Amino acid sequence: MSTIFSKIIAREIPARIVYEDDLCLAFHDVNPQAPVHILIIPKKEIPRVAESTSADELLLGHLLYTAQSVAKQEGLHETGFRLVINNGPDGGETVPHLHVHLLGGRPLGWPPG
């Protein structure tokens, strides 16, 4: 299922892109929940992490590695940051294209709501 994120990958709608490579794209969330709120998404249309397969293992690792790399680029390595993946209705997922939220720039509460 194609989503708004596929349109961002295809440059059919604009986004503030901060990183791109062959496998993934990182861009600012349109409705930021912290001073830094960036989404890291695979170019492959995987709806959610629960629907990934063993063929996606390297890609999943690449998303995490890219997330920490973008965190460093955004100056968050010293202060810290949080990576979040929402999955399904109870997880709070609203866009069915796998994405890692990178949140930082302020202290984040725990546990989440």
**ω into residue 47 within 30 of 0, thus cis?**
no
The 3-state secondary structure of 66-107, one letter per residue: HHHHHHHHCCCCCCCEEEECCCHHHHCCCCCCCCEEEEECCC
93 near ligand 5GP (CB under 6 A): yes
For ligand 5GP, the binding residues in 19-78 under the rule CB under 6 A are 27-31, 39
Output the smallest distance, CB 25 to ligand 5GP, in A: 11
97 catalytic per annotation? no
Q: Which is nearer to ligand 5GP, 31 or 54 (CB)?
A: 31
Site residues (CB under 6 A) for ligand 5GP?
4, 15, 27-31, 39, 86, 92-95
Which residues belong to the active site? Answer: 99
